Chains A and B, each alone.
Chain A
Amino acid sequence: MVQETGSISLPQKRYYRQRAHSNPIADHCFDYPAHPDDVDWQEMYPNITSDQCVEFADIGCGYGGFLVTLGEMFPDRFAIGLEIRVKVSDYVMDRIKALRTLHPGKYNNIACLRTNAMKYLPNYFRKAQLDKMFFLYPDPHFKRAKHKWRIINQALLSEYAYVLRKGGLVYTMTDVEDLHKWIVLHMEQHPLYERLPSDEEKADPITPKLYQSSEEGAKVVRNKGDHFLAIFRRI
């Protein structure tokens, strides 16, 4: 990989802009492990030991704003951001590198992977490995014909349930009300998830961070749009 050498400043987003959509069904140029045993986690997390594993996954992590927050909130746990877009995932990787250089000893618990989360989750994570999954401001794919491209759909919810442990949580946030309704409908129809009551949603220490720290979210705040949060428990 090419690295921004000779500078320890954070990478500039203007070099990494990319259109918001990517076809998740098509073939891409991905190197993915055939089996979770084949993943070299130490390459991504310099301090991870063999009895530790990634427990948080930010699916479609975008420019990584929330991932960084997550790393700060839970310094003892490992979080991964998955992003399909080439430039955007590269930005997050460079950002984490720069953060590690600027703050020695910190940010060693976050990493970003360029992959297609709709296809390759079982290639990276074992059954019941994950404790929390985040779907923040996912691509709404408004057209009905592209609903199969949505990151939350009936078939994929079973795959997420497979990598999540019982009691694990799924956080969803969007500024598109129709998508929010779709997510809630499908999650509640799925027998392996239940929605948290709103007082539990409010009490979760992560909840305020979801409103604050996603950069996509920050834009919505400027536009005075509404946020729609829903948290579900893997039964």
Chain B
Amino acid sequence: MTTLFYAEPELVIALNTKVIFVNPNDLQIFKEIEIPKDLTKVGLKAPKGIADADGEGGSEQSKETKKTKEVKPELPSILHVEVSPDHCLCAITTAGQKAVLLYQCRPEHAKLVSVRPLARASSALTFSKDSKVLLVTDKSGDCYKYDCVNFEEEPKLLLGHLSIVYDVLWTPDSKYIITCDRDDKIRITNYPETYDIHGYCLGHKEFVSGVAFLSEDTIVSISGDKTLRIWNFISGKEKSKIDLPAPALRLCLRPKSENKFEAAVLLYQPDESVGIYEITNSGEGQWLIEELTKLNYPDVIISNICFVNERLYATGIVDECFSLKISNIADSQQIISTDWIDMIEERFRSEVWKPEDVSAWFKKRYDNVSDYLERKKRRIEEKQK
């Protein structure tokens, strides 16, 4: 898994065991994190707190805890990375030895301050606006809260979906947690009363892979159903929609001007694998969506995209090796430094990286009805003879 995002002024790139924080405009690397090879040596304990979260007590529980007490000596590798809005913390989730790591980035130079267990492989992360809480969603659809003030506090289960949650947002006022899942749903959950569901944004017909804020009551979503949609998430009403050339896997958004956004959408198709869309708020809740361009990446499997001002950065895989691509979106034909790309690629040269099988995101429609109906038809015909 790789991570790529821009937390101005740092571009953050992660792969396998390494995170680098780099200045996109010159050859300066701000800092680098190499996660420990054995997390049990830095305090990782078995996830007993998490196993407790389903509220079951009793003897069965203690048996279970004993079984999972020995953390396997598997090497940890990075799943997701997020930087807190105040830039003081960097959260890293790992696979292998499953954990949530917190690094203090200011004033220290990336110091590991918290190692907590993770129940299942993470699927998305987000911080609260005040940087005090981290939300971690996982493959089974659960969403956990990790306190980022009291680093020792055990993770708490906030809400659960019945399938993987692909993305999570938290409104700046902390009132709503927005999650989207493989079962075509966008769910709006009240916070802190997370047992109380505010509503759903329903309309997508395949997995919803990404969501992002457009305003205090509006979000944009992308889906495997080849659409990008805009919603008022308070009312659950769909406001606008555009068809995409292929199923959508990832979304990133940047504000262009007061009423305009630019959205980059990673598409599940070879070559022209990124679409750029302009989203305009034309007033009174009306939103216009327009395709601007498609970006062509021949021979690269793109896995992450992010905007750095008017450029789109994309990380991908060529022959199981890390590759970085930079594209100018606007007309300004700024020169892209190949030295800079070489320097970054050099950092990850030794890493082996296999692409994720995205076909598993789509629902398998196995038919267990037609056979039965056919047999039933024959039985009835038989009887009528």
Interface residues of A, Cβ cutoff 8 Å to B: 1-2, 4-6, 15, 24-25, 27-29, 34-36, 86-87, 90, 118-120, 122-123, 127, 144, 147-148, 153-159, 161-162, 182, 185-186, 189-192
Contact = CB atoms under 8 A, between A and B. Distances in A.
A127 B159 CA distance: 18
Q: Interface centre among B64, B197, B205, by most A CB within 10 Å?
A: B197
Given A87-B372, A122-B200, A159-B197, A2 B380 contact: yes
A134 B264 CA distance: 46
A154 B55 CA distance: 8
Contacts of A191: 193, 195-196
23 contacts: A2-B376, A2-B380, A15-B379, A25-B162, A28-B366, A28-B368, A29-B365, A29-B367, A29-B368, A34-B202, A34-B204, A90-B373, A119-B183, A122-B202, A127-B199, A153-B54, A156-B162, A158-B189, A158-B194, A159-B197, A161-B197, A185-B56, A191-B193
Given A5-B380, A25-B162, A147-B54, A154 B157 contact: yes
B142 interface: yes
Top 7 closest A-B pairs, CB basis?
A155-B160, A162-B197, A35-B202, A2-B377, A29-B367, A27-B363, A27-B364
B361 to A, nearest CB: 11
Given A2-B373, A2-B380, A158 B196 contact: yes
Given A27-B363, A119-B162, A144-B60, 11 more contacts: A4-B380, A15-B376, A25-B162, A34-B203, A34-B205, A36-B202, A127-B199, A144-B56, A158-B194, A158-B197, A162-B199
A155 B369 contact: no
A123 B12 CA distance: 39
A87 B371 CA distance: 11
B55 A189 contact: yes
Q: Most chain-B CB neighbours within 10 Å: which of A24, A28, A182, A186? A: A28
A35 B202 CA distance: 5
B142 A34 contact: no
Contacts of B199: 127, 162
Nearest to B187: A122
Interface in B40-89: 54-56, 60, 64
Interface of B: 54-56, 60, 64, 140-142, 157, 159-163, 183-185, 189, 193-197, 199-200, 202-205, 363-369, 372-373, 376-377, 379-380, 384
Given A119-B162, A158-B196, A161-B195, A29 B369 contact: yes
B376 A122 contact: no
A3 to B, nearest CB: 8
Nearest to A186: B55
Contact of B195 (A15, A120, A182, A190): A190
A156 B195 CA distance: 10
A192 B196 contact: yes
Contacts of A25: 162-163
Given A147-B54, A192-B195, A154 B380 contact: no
A158 B366 CA distance: 29
Nearest to A163: B197
